[in-house]
Structure 1
Amino acid sequence: MRHLLPALALWPLLLALTVASPAAPAQTQMVPAPEGFRMGDYRAPTPAELPGAATLDTPGAAALWQQGGAAWFDVLPAARRPEGLPEGSLWRPTPRLGVPGSLWLPEAGRGSLDPALESWFRGALDRATGGDRGRPVVFYCRADCWMSWNAARRALGWGWRDVRWYRDGTDGWEAAGLPTEVLQPAPGMP
């Protein structure tokens, strides 16, 4: 019992430190933008902005969505069947909820795209915008997700002139109580 008393005496101090200095939310951490694409560890704090693109907060994203006219792209990867799941086992991935009217382009936010995936992504952008590179395009996934940052950067490189990056993605959207709908991957994904 005597050994427990020093440890128990530390609990109030540890509790006070935890309450007095809460960890900053991940989405407020500032990290520098890389020169190129983020190539891995996609679920990590992101930069505050993407040079050449407008960064949207949730009120700005909601206003743009209400206004209409922008093409919205969710680039979160689709859930994959767990490795080692026995053959014939039932597996139901959680449905992807996104901003209503979005086109879901799983895997399009990777740092490196194989030629088939890159062609599919480019084609989806062209079809969704009618080839109008001045039409607003919005890329999102989740908060602290580099996939949308990469996809928006790629669209800028392909000549889209009104690129928006919704940094907080569906995490911010759902936290604000905004409507969602179940998304299906866009057709033709390689």
Structure 2
Amino acid sequence: MKRFAAALCLLALPALAGVPEPDGFRGAPYRAEVPATVMGQPGLSSDEARALHSAGVSFIDVLPREARPEGLPDDRMWREKPHLSIPGSVWLPNTGYEALPEADAAYLRDGLERVTGGDAGAAVVIFCKKDCWMSWNAAKRAIGWGFSGVKWFPGGTDAWQDLGGHLEEVPPAPR
């Protein structure tokens, strides 16, 4: 009976471990359950993110920019919805995809350089929405580039609002 119970426990281990970190970057679908860690570092809880925000740590939002609807005639006006994010954050849209064109990778690197003042060890929080692989991808890239102060907030704007935090309109950072 003890062996049977031990075997059941071993079978349950993968389910308890959650989503494993992939070797590379994650592609579509981007909205799906994420791992608890990025490059072995645990993601921030909502309370940890709030404390870092209160301490003045820079926050980087990597949620993509809304694209003009496909098939919309050129003579039809289209207005992008305002992007709402954690107050004071820097929005680096389109920098969390699995594969980044060099221009978007440079945009992310330059944005990280700006917010850290060139100090790769400075704390910075990368986020988007809950269960969004884009922030995971961007955090993994940043850590791989040597930004050792990167923290990942997997709950993003959704968890921020769950804490009672408000969101504000944020424009994309200049390229």
TM-score after normalising by structure 1? 0.78
Q: Tell whether 2:95 aligns with 1:94.
A: no
Q: Is the 8 A contact 2:36 2:42 kept in 1?
A: no
What is the distance in 2 between the residues matched to 1:172 and 1:53?
A: 19
Residues 36/150 of structure 1: CA separation in 2 closer, same or farther (3 Å cut): same
TM-superposed CA distance for 1:72, in Å, is 0.9
- 1:150 pairs with one of 133, 137, 149: 137
**Which segments of 5 or more consecutive residues in structure 2 lack a partner in the other structure?**
1-16
What fraction of aligned residue pairs are identical, expressed as a percent? 48
Q: Where has structure 1 moved over 4 Å in runs of 4 or more? A: none
SS of aligned partner of 1:139: strand
Equivalent residue number for residue 3 of structure 2? none
Tell me the number of residue pairs that the alignment of Structure 1 and Structure 2 aligns. Answer: 159
What is the distance in 1 between the residues matched to 2:52 and 2:43?
A: 12
C-alpha distance after superposition, 1:123-159 (max 9, x if no partner): 1111111100111011000011000000000011111
SS of aligned partner of 2:136: helix
Q: How does 1:72-87 map to 2 (within 5 A)?
A: 72-87=59-74
**Which segments of 5 or more consecutive residues in structure 1 lack a partner in the other structure?**
1-28
- 2:36 pairs with one of 48, 58, 64: 48
Alignment RMSD, CA only? 1.5
SS of aligned partner of 1:56: coil
- Rg comparison, structure with higher value: 1
TM-score after normalising by structure 2? 0.85
Q: Is the 8 A contact 1:54 1:163 kept in 2?
A: no
Letter in 2 for 1:40: A
